[in-house]
Amino acid sequence: MRAMDVFTGLPDWLRLECQPIDQLQGDLFPEESQQLARAVPKRRREFTAGRTLARRLLVQAGYPAGAIPADASRCPRWPEGVAGSISHSESQCAAALASLHDCRSIGVDLESIGAVTPDLWPYVFTPAEQQVLQTTTIASPETAKLQATLGFSAKEAFFKSQYPLTKLWLDFPQAEIRQLSARSFTLELTETLPELPRTVSGLFWPVPGQQLLTLLWL
């Protein structure tokens, strides 16, 4: 699966790709391997997939294929001048990147459709969002399942994109879904943060394995 085959609607300056984890088991740099010294095999596979895919995008964008170690908060430490994000599910890995000349930060997230079950809604969604999901469930349980996954994933992508700018760990109710269309969403912050716009928009796509990928940039 190539990015151009699936991810329509992207600006020319942004690169995004999603591939099966099993197909992304390349070599790591010593600095990266050292950070995995105590990692279980599953974590090593996921980390390796993310770095392999991210390096592929870096080379495509004209950057050297260097190490991408994790920082103290376990976020990827991108080369100077690059904004990027990595996400993985049980079977898939996604990476996105762009130049800091084009955006301040990027957030990408992968989720399995249906994993955000109703018992999790009070922790993930505001009362208004929960009401919409409850109403949708009555009319179409499958649609509600998709919307719950999208809402969770959109917030995760936003949290990833805002962290490099604010260094804050936000709670899910601090962002609320305001609008959905066929391939896009809009989030509104429920409180003002000086470093961030009050409203942000992003894109989403289905990916193989009944999964959903969300992306936004600031």
pLDDT tens profile 141-183:
999 999 999 999 999 999 999 999 999 999 999 999 998 888 9
Determine the average pLDDT of the residues in 95-121. Answer: 96
**Residue 16 assigned to a binding site:** no
**Given 51, 85, 108, which residue is the final one in a domain?**
108
Q: Is 85 helix (H, G, I), strand (E, B) or coil?
A: strand
Is 142 known as a binding-site position?
no
| Predicted pLDDT of residue 95 | 97
Backbone φ and ψ of 12, nearest 5°:
-60, -25
| Cα 181 versus chain centre, distance | 18
Say yes or no: 51 and 116 in one domain. Answer: no
* CB neighbourhood size of 177 (10 A): 21
pLDDT tens digits, 14-55: 999 999 999 999 899 999 999 998 899 999 999 999 999 999
Arithmetic mean of pLDDT over the chain: 93
The whole-model pTM stands at 0.93
Is the pLDDT at 199 greater than 60? The verdict is yes
Phi-psi map region of 176: left, alpha, beta (phi>0 left; psi -120 to 50 alpha): beta
Residue 107, both tokens: 């957030």
Same domain for 72 and 121, yes or no, is no
What values do phi and psi take at 190, rounded to 5? -90, -5
- Domain hosting 94: range is 3-108
Give which of 21, 51, 17 is closest to 36, Cα–Cα: 51
Q: Is 31 annotated as a binding residue?
A: no
The reply to whether 55 sits in an annotated binding site is no
